[in-house]
């Protein structure tokens, strides 16, 4: 992994591919490269940023109307020039870029070495490419046929795009478990890992399915399955605008996306929630309403920030729907041989809709008769297509690697689903239902109010930016918020941070407390508030530095804290959408104060499409 771009058509390929690679930088990467075909196949690649690659190409003849480009996040082999993509085949005839992991590459490599192949990188990608070339030479077949034969032998995940020096009017691409979008223009085609490099040129796209091979010419797109059967390309209209993937005057995408949350939460609720009418309209939920209401068990599968959204939703669903809810790391769920029964509901939560572990987890559950509900942000994504039903979060493109607006949008969608099912099931009475509709409807306005003054959070960041560790504590609905706050700080500032249920502090973490340790309490007014105050007193007794996220007028919490962040008051069921925002800002401002690249944290990728 991490990002691919390719072009074939009447334009100069290099500027299109270079701009596309810059659009994909948000996905995270450690090297970049481009292959261009014009009077020979030329490959240029560099460790480091796309800008370093661009600088190295100054003055070179880059004229071509066909090319491929890649930003790499290292899996097999350290970040280096030689491990960067694209790779050339042994003969130099083919060049290839690849997202994913080939699990049986070692055996394939040994077989190829025994035939005399020499490898110039440590990557599984070069192995796959030479395997394809070996098949092509031994069978004297066309490239697309060699690709189909090779992929039947390959174990793992991939998106590959190949250039053939002997066929300069054709690109060959294929996918399994990693996203590929093809933009359809007039006598031109654009390929990318997501739509962000394409939107500038066309809004008509085709999402390639697993086990499909694409044969792409300037004026033709052919899709085939691995059995060589033609498939009908389904053209989708993008609703994304170019402005959505630009900074719009903000210093960083992360800050822009934090400040977009009043609008993104509103967009998530718009057309669905009508507090005055007392209704929630969600067609995907209505279609499976009976199965959802009667489900004995709901299992939420997710990774990272989406897993934290699932943890908040666990509290909400059990409270409002009185249904047994489990929240699983997708990466563990798929390997644990879980007990999944017919009629169980699996809710897959993913910003990108392409998370590899989550995809495999839901496919496993589907075979056991579970109902799959996808909660994703990206229209047409793999999880959306693999689900029986679900709901889009409508948060718009999220470019910052650390998820912010996607998290609050996920909470909004999951809360609406719980409200709808609880009311239909009869476990939520009308008075409480109507009250919560109003509470949820008010969240965008409250987030906007919270964001009107962030200078005090910036000052806190300056005060604590040199801390070695942080502890985040919360109870009930705010325990997952503590986890999310700790994750954000780790991702953005590289400060070690841990999130815990506040009561668990006494079972170990309190040993870490001294006068140098900042402890962030999510201490908004809820049914656990008095207990949280007791925990704050325990930290103060041990000279810890208390930072408290509190509601206006909470003088007792304020008196115990060294620093406070005030958020608007809200019902505890919707309060996490408010209390998480200052923690996002704290992480952002600490990262900026430390001089770090907050949009592209080291070692991280936006969409984890390999296991």
pTM of the shown model: 0.75
**CA count, 13 A, side-chain hemisphere, 580:** 33
- The owner of tokens 């993509």 is 85
CATH code for the domain of 466: 3.40.50.10490
Give the residue from 431, 452, 473 where a domain finishes.
452
pLDDT of residue 241: 60
Q: By C-alpha distance, which of 519, 237, 284 is closest to 388? A: 284
pLDDT of residue 108: 92
The sign one gets for the Cα dihedral 120, 123, 126, 127 is: positive
Same domain, residue pair 221 and 269: no
Give the residue from 452, 471, 499 where a domain finishes.
452
Contacts of 447 (CB under 8 A, 6+ apart): 261, 262, 265, 408, 577, 578, 581
Domain assignment present for 470: yes
Instruction: Give me the domain span that covers residue 510.
Output: 453-599
Tell me the chain's radius of gyration from C-alpha atoms: 25
Ranges of the chain with pLDDT below 70: 1, 27-28, 240-246, 605-611
For 234: left if phi > 0, alpha if psi spans -120 to 50, otherwise beta; the answer is beta
Same domain, residue pair 217 and 349: no
Same domain, residue pair 412 and 542: no
Domain assignment present for 604: no
**CA–CA dist 425, 298 (Å, integer):** 15
CATH code for the domain of 64: 3.60.20.10
pLDDT of residue 539: 85
Longest dimension (CA), the chain: 80
**H, E, C per residue of 60-79:** CCCCCCEEEEEEECCCCCCC
Domain assignment present for 48: yes
Same domain, residue pair 260 and 233: no
Same domain, residue pair 348 and 469: no
Among 47, 420, 525, 606, the one annotated catalytic: 606
Is 303 in the active site? Answer: no
Q: What token pair was written down for 242?
A: 């170019």
Among 2, 268, 303, 321, the one annotated catalytic: 2
Q: What token pair was written down for 49?
A: 């940023």
Give the residue from 184, 212, 243 where a domain finishes.
243
Question: What domain count does the chain have?
Answer: 3
- pLDDT tens string 189-225: 999 988 888 988 998 999 998 899 999 999 999 999 9
**CA–CA dist 189, 215 (Å, integer):** 11
Same domain, residue pair 446 and 536: no
Same domain, residue pair 187 and 272: no
pLDDT of residue 527: 82
Q: By C-alpha distance, which of 178, 173, 163 is closest to 233? A: 173
Strand ranges for 103-147 from DSSP E = none
Same domain, residue pair 208 and 306: no
Q: What token pair was written down for 41?
A: 């196949």
Is 606 in the active site? Answer: yes
Phi/psi of residue 60, nearest 5 degrees: -85, 155
Same domain, residue pair 163 and 233: yes
pLDDT of residue 381: 80
Same domain, residue pair 327 and 436: yes
- pLDDT tens string 122-149: 888 999 999 999 999 999 999 999 999 9
pLDDT of residue 605: 60
């Amino acid at each position: 992994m991490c990002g691919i771009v390719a072009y074939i058509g009447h334009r100069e390929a290099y500027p299109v591919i270079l701009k596309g690679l810059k659009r994909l930088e948000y996905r995270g990467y450690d090297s970049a490269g481009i292959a261009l075909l014009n009077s020979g196949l030329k490959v240029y690649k560099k460790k480091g940023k796309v800008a370093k690659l661009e600088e190295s190409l100054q003055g070179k003849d880059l004229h071509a109307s066909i090319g491929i480009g890649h930003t790499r996040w290292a899996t097999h082999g350290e970040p280096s020039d030689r491990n960067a993509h694209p790779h050339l085949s042994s003969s130099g005839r083919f060049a290839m870029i690849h997202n994913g992991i080939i699990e049986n590459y070692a055996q394939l490599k040994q077989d190829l070495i025994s035939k005399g192949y020499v490898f110039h990188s440590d990557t599984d990608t070069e192995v796959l490419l030479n395997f394809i070339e070996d098949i092509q030479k031994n069978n004297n077949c066309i490239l697309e046929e060699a690709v189909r034969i090779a992929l039947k032998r390959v174990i793992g995940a991939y998106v590959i795009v190949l250039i053939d020096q002997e066929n300069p009017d054709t690109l060959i691409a294929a996918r399994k478990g990693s996203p590929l979008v093809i933009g359809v223009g007039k006598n031109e085609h654009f390929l990318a890992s997501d739509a962000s490099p394409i939107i500038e040129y066309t809004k008509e796209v085709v999402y390639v399915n697993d086990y499909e091979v694409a044969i792409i010419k300037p004026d033709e797109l052919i899709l085939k399955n691995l059995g060589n059967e033609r498939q009908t390309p389904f053209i989708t209209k993008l609703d994304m605008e170019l402005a959505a993937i630009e900074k719009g005057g903000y210093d960083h995408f992360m800050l822009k996306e934090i400040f977009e949350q009043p609008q993104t939460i509103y967009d998530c609720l718009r057309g669905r929630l009508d507090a005055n009418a007392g209704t929630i309209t969600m067609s995907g939920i209505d279609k499976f309403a009976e199965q959802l209401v009667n489900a004995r068990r709901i299992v939420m599968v997710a990774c990272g920030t989406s897993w934290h959204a699932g943890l908040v939703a666990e509290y909400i669903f059990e409270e409002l729907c009185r249904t047994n809810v489990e929240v699983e790391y997708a990466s563990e769920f798929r390997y644990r041989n879980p007990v999944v029964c017919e009629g169980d509901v699996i809710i897959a939560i993913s910003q990108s809709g392409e998370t590899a572990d989550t995809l495999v987890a839901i496919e496993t559950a589907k075979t056991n008769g579970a109902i799959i509900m996808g909660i994703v942000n990206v229209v047409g994504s793999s999880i959306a297509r693999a689900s029986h039903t679900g709901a889009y979060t409508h948060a718009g493109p999220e470019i910052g690697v650390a998820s912010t607006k996607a998290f609050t949008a996920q909470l909004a969608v999951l809360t609406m689903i719980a409200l709808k099912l609880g009311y239909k099931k009869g476990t939520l009475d009308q008075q409480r239902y109507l009250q919560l509709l109003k509470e949820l409807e008010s969240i965008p306005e409250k987030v906007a109010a919270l964001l009107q003054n962030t200078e005090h959070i910036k000052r806190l960041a300056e005060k604590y930016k040199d801390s070695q560790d942080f502890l985040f504590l919360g109870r009930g609905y705010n325990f997952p918020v503590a986890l999310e706050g700790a994750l954000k700080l780790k991702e953005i500032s590289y400060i070690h941070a841990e999130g815990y249920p506040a009561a668990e502090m006494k079972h170990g973490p309190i040993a870490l407390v001294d006068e140098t340790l900042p402890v962030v309490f999510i201490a908004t007014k809820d049914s656990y508030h008095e207990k949280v105050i007791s925990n704050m007193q325990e930290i103060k007794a041990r000279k810890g530095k208390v930072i408290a996220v509190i509601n206006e007028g909470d003088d007792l919490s304020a008196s115990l804290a060294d620093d406070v962040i005030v958020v608007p008051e809200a019902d505890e069921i919707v309060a996490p959408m408010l209390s998480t925002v200052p923690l996002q800002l704290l992480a952002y401002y600490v990262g900026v104060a430390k001089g770090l690249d907050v949009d592209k944290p080291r070692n991280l990728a936006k969409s984890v499409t390999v296991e």
